[in-house]
Structure 1
Amino acid sequence: MENLLEEILGCTICKDFLPLGVNPVLSAHESSKILLIGQAPGLKVHQSGIPWDDMSGKRLRQWLNVSNETFYDAKNIALIPMGFCYPGKGKTGDLPPRKECAEAWHKQLLSKMEEAELVLLVGQYAQKYYLQKNAKKTLTETVSNYKSYLPKFFPLPHPSPRNRFWLRKNPWFEKDVIPELQKRIARLV
């Protein structure tokens, strides 16, 4: 696993498309029990080099009901984005994650984490990639049907502050889904 992580951290596959340059951000261990697959690092995470080191990460840790220590212990939770580097700014937020990362590295990473019992799919990019034809037409439909993907996958919306309208419009998520998520996380960590 160490050699693979070193390879990923030295990856330059999409360097020509990254406005701020290459800086892969992830955390994984062969004994990770939970795989958290997100989108791509934001600007703050790109600068700090720490996965989920922003407001989205704060909300995500609240959803999971875990401390920073538990969250950042790779033996508990592997933090793997779809795109390992900050993709740059778009018109309404960050650009989508670069596709090269998942294609080049995800299969290799996941094959080394045989103890993983739960894969959290945060956001539509991770959901479409991993659920493929089983993903519903919208993120809302996919998340509301989370039970159909268990016990392996647990789809979640992105915890970005930009999604506050989605959360307000879908109170069932925090009322029904979050307690089930927290129960499963507590059992594994």
Structure 2
Amino acid sequence: MAVKLAGRHPSPARSSSRPSRSPRLWCWDPAGAVCLKCQTASQTDPGSASNFARRFTAHALVAAMNVCAVPFPSHIDELAEAGLTPVPGETVQCPYIHEAPIAFECRRHLTLGLGKSREIVLGEVTRMHIREDLVDQERFYIDQLGLDAIGRMGGHGYATTREQFDLPTMSHEQWLGRKPTSQERRSSDREAGLAVE
């Protein structure tokens, strides 16, 4: 898998070929090698999942993302309506969105059918495009606050990632050192007004 840092370069010319539409999608990349694409099977063309591009949506792109969710007629270019720029993929025959802070080019690996109308496409990430100012050049970490990603919670609900905190995992010894005794738990329950047997 190749990683390409995308600097703040001028927007490329729009591609003459309009990418096929798909419903709202969620992408998660826990190991840096897998891309998940959940889609409505009835709204995809045969073989259209062989190559695809996924992206992280930053808060600044919320309005454009919502435009892309409009059920336009098939002849309408939703990216053009949203003011977004498709860029030809370098390893797949599918464009990615220039304005996205992070974008993955993916090749289909496996499709899991979920009933008659839903499927999950598991894909191999063949290239990552990351906005250069988001990468720590020494440690190669992503600036998550700078990314300002949003996530869909279900229905019309979304959440930001602006409020973050660290919670280090304790060792077994650390847990034993702070684990309350049965007497301490009963005392705490009494103070909280809970019934104690």
The one of the two structures with greater contact order (alpha-carbon pairs below 8 A, sep at least 6) is: 1
Which of the pair is proportionally richer in helix? 1
Structure showing greater radius of gyration is: 2
User: What's the TM-score once normalised by structure 2's chain length?
Assistant: 0.27
User: What's the TM-score once normalised by structure 1's chain length?
Assistant: 0.28
